[in-house]
Each structure stands twice: as C-alpha cells, then as structure tokens.
Amino acid sequence: MNRIRRFFGAKLKRQLIYAGIVSLLISLVCMVLVYYASNAFLDETIYGDYYTDYMAENEVSTLQSFITSNEVTTEDLSPLNEWCKDRYNRVTLFIADGDDIIFQSRHSGPKKIKTIDEMEAFATAELFYDVAILGEDVTFFEGEDDETTYEVYLYYHASYGYYVSTLILAAAVGCLVFAFVFFMLFRKKLSYIVRLKRELDILAGGDLSYEVTERGGDEIKDLATGINAMRTAIVERQDAEEEARRANAQLVTAMSHDLRSPLTAILGYLEMLKRHKYDNDEQLDYFVDNTYQKTLQIKEMSDKLFEYFLVSKSENEQIRMDEYDAPVLLMGMLEECILSLDCEGYTFDTKLEEVTGVVRANAQLLKRVFDNLYSNLKKYAEPKETIKVSMEMEEKMVLITMVNAAKSDISKEESTRIGLKTCERIIGYHDGTFTHENRDKKFTITMTLPLMD
C-alpha cells in the first residue's frame, strides 16, 4: 500500500497516467472505427463477387499458359504440382478425362479421388471456397501437331491477407492518434523536457558555466536541480584534473619525439642491411650493434613509460604503507645505488649523517625511486666527474641530495625524463618532495621524506 501511495503521490507520474488513459481511450475508438470501415470497403470491392470471379478465371488462364509454355503432357502431369504449390492457399485443382479424375493438387488431401462424384462430395464436405469453375477446357501438348483437351475443376478461395492489412492499418492509426492526443495533453511538459535537452547539449558542448533552468514543482524540476549540482561538481573536478591531463599530454608528445629518433635510426640501419650496403664484416657488425643498442633504448623507454603509468594508476588505489626504521631502509637503498655505480667506474663524494626515527613508506615503491636514480645517474652523469651524495635530517625530515656533472652529449638522450616524473609521483605518495634542476652543467636532485613522531 505504501508503494502505491508513493507511486501515485508523485505529481509527474499522475500526470503521465491521466494523459495515457485519455489518449488510450480515444485511440481505441479511432482504431475500431478504421477497422470496421476498412473491412466494409473490402467486402464491397476486393472480396466482392465480381473480383473473385475475375481472379478465378485468371487462374484458369494462368494454368493454360503454364501448360503451354512448359509443354505439359497427360503422360506426365507432375509439373502441375509446381503451379499448384505457389497457390496452395487459394486454389484447389482437379483435371478430369470424362468422369475420371487424372490429376488432383497435393494439398487437396491424402485420399486419392478417382471420379467426378467423389470430387464433388469432397468439395462439399471439406473445401472452403468462394468460386468454383467446373468443367472448363484446357489443352495439353501431346506431340507435334497433336493436342488433347481435358476438363478443369478449380475451386478458388480468396486470400484474407487484406483483412490482416486493415488490422495493421487500424493499429497504426490508433498509435498515431494516441501519440497526437498524448502530445497535446502533455505538450507543455514536453517542451520543458526539450528545453532541458537543449541546455544539456550546451553543457555537453563544454560550457559548464551554463545554469540549467529549474521550473515547476515535479520530478523534472528536481532533475534539473540535480543536474546543476552535478555540473558544479564536474567543474570542480575538472579544475583539479586539468593540470594532470596537461602533464600527461606533454609527456606523450615528448615520448613520441624520443621514440621517433631511435626508430628512424633502426629503420636506416635495417634498410642498409637489407640492401647489403656495407663494405665488410666489420661495418656489418657496426650496423647490427647500433641497431641492437637503439632497440635497447626503445625498450628502456617503454619500460619507464609502463612504470610511470603503473605508478599513476596507484593514485586511485589504496597504497599499503608500513613503518620502517629510517636508517635501515633509506641507507640500505642509497648505499646499494652507490655501490652499483662504483662498480661501473663512477666516483662519489658522500656525506651521510646519522638518521634516526621511523619512516612510513611502501618499500617496493621506494625501491623504484632509487632504481630510477641509479638509471638516471648512469645515463646522464659524466663518469669522469665525482658525484656528490648527502643524507641528513632537517626538522623531522630526511633530506637526500645528489649532484652530478651532466654529460656533454646529454641532448642525445631522452627528453621526457619519465623516470624522474615517476620518482616525483612516488615521493608525493609518501607526503614528501622530489625536485630536480639542471644548471651550469650540474644536475641536482633533492628528495625529502617525513619522519614519524
């Protein structure tokens, strides 16, 4: 009962129900009138005696034409089954030689009818027909200049397909009347809905500053109010996401440029290899080695790009944070990075102060930061110059700084610095800061992480 009250308590629903009932009653009256008027017209024309007599005579003429064109003989009357097949719902055919039936259409029943008397009894008892043409002559071809005439008994039943058409017509008229009456009763509300649609198109076109019209006191007005509230929320969210989208767009553009250069080089080398444009095996090895190196460069960039978007995806997910002893976690990762580069010939000037406290972090993500720092130093740092590394505490913060001399051919490397962007996002998840600066051929990275009280 409460559901029924709530249903009919809605003003818009009541209006729709009333308009629907009135429209339905009027449309039903119109549909009945159209149906009976159409049937009366058919009874006087298509299904009248004149038309059915004409159609029956036409079927006999068509049968004679079929017999003549197909040269049907009395020795083989089976082709007549094809003619009857196309007319099974309106024609029952018998062909007689005197009192004997020599052909009957297949749909006349399984019983074999042999005489005229049996045929007439069958027609009276089982056939439903409008016109019967009895004993009209048809001519069969029996050979060169040899023809035989037999009698045709054709029972014609007019198809009632037009009656079905009148029912469809009446239903169509009813639907049109229903739509027209419903529109006239509900046109003001519909015009308001159309206006809302136009205003939504304005919002969809990007003008989110446009305020949707709120009119009336029903659910449509509540909908307009909700749209305005949603519009305001979208504007606020777009403002927050615009900077992130711009950064991603710049990243994709720069990444496309960085990928194009090695791809162009690879295509050039492969073209020369395909056309055997090398002088000796040494030059061949040079082409192959350069192609391999460029392929590794593309792989590295694609790995970094995947890592960047994997980390970006974590913004919408809950990141698990655990508590770690700061000197154990950070010092261990930093020393691992320094040791790896030291084994490759890089020299360091380290200033690692004692750090105490607990850091709340995701160890796996922090490991990615130091892996990216290792990759960045290996790629951009000048091996002959000393790399300065320091770690100290500043007001409940761990400050890590790395300063290295940049390679002279740094312009040949990738310009996106996607690894550094990944580091910046990860440290941001930890409520820290990550900055980098390239000035006077010195590249400086500064990273801070908060310590727990």
- Over the stretch 62-102, which tens digit does the pLDDT of each residue have? 888 988 888 888 888 888 888 888 887 788 889 898 888 88
Q: How confident is the model at residue 30 (pLDDT cuts 50, 70, 90)?
A: very high
Contact between 330 and 389 under an 8 Å Cβ cutoff? The reply is no
Q: For residue 338, what are the CA distances in angstroms to 321, 344, 368, 369, 446?
A: 26, 10, 15, 14, 16
Whether 8 shows a pLDDT value over 80: the answer reads: no
Whether 421 shows a pLDDT value over 90: the answer reads: no
More confident position, 78 or 160: 78
Whether 29 shows a pLDDT value over 80: the answer reads: yes
pLDDT of residue 250: 63
For range 186-214, the mean pLDDT: 85
Question: What token pair was written down for 38?
Answer: 């159409």
Which range, of 226-240, 243-257, 333-347, 420-434, averages the lowest pLDDT? 243-257
Whether 452 shows a pLDDT value over 70: the answer reads: yes
Q: What percent of the chain has pLDDT over 70?
A: 85
pLDDT of residue 2: 45
pLDDT of residue 258: 64
Question: What token pair was written down for 312?
Answer: 């970006």
Q: Note the pTM of the prediction, 2 decimals.
A: 0.41
Whether 247 shows a pLDDT value over 70: the answer reads: no
Whether 206 shows a pLDDT value over 90: the answer reads: no
Residues 6+ apart with CB under 8 A from 258: 301, 414, 415, 416
For range 391-402, the mean pLDDT: 89
**Distance between CA atoms of residues 305 and 108, nearest Å:** 79
DSSP 408: T
Which range, of 226-230, 272-276, 309-313, averages the lowest pLDDT? 309-313
- Over the stretch 350-374, which tens digit does the pLDDT of each residue have? 898 888 888 898 888 888 888 888 8
Whether 154 shows a pLDDT value over 50: the answer reads: yes
For range 293-316, the mean pLDDT: 66
Whether 10 shows a pLDDT value over 70: the answer reads: no
pLDDT of residue 143: 65
The closest alpha carbon to 300, from 194, 365, 372, 208, belongs to 372
More confident position, 350 or 130: 350
- Strand segments, DSSP code E, in 272-370 are 322-325, 348-352, 358-361
The closest alpha carbon to 269, from 294, 246, 245, 234, belongs to 294
For range 409-430, the mean pLDDT: 71
**Distance between CA atoms of residues 401 and 251, nearest Å:** 25
**Distance between CA atoms of residues 445 and 329, nearest Å:** 19
Whether 313 shows a pLDDT value over 70: the answer reads: no
pLDDT of residue 175: 92
Alpha-carbon dihedral angle through residues 140, 142, 145, 151, given to the nearest 10 degrees: -30
Run of H or E including 419 = helix 418-429
Question: What token pair was written down for 32?
Answer: 């009945």
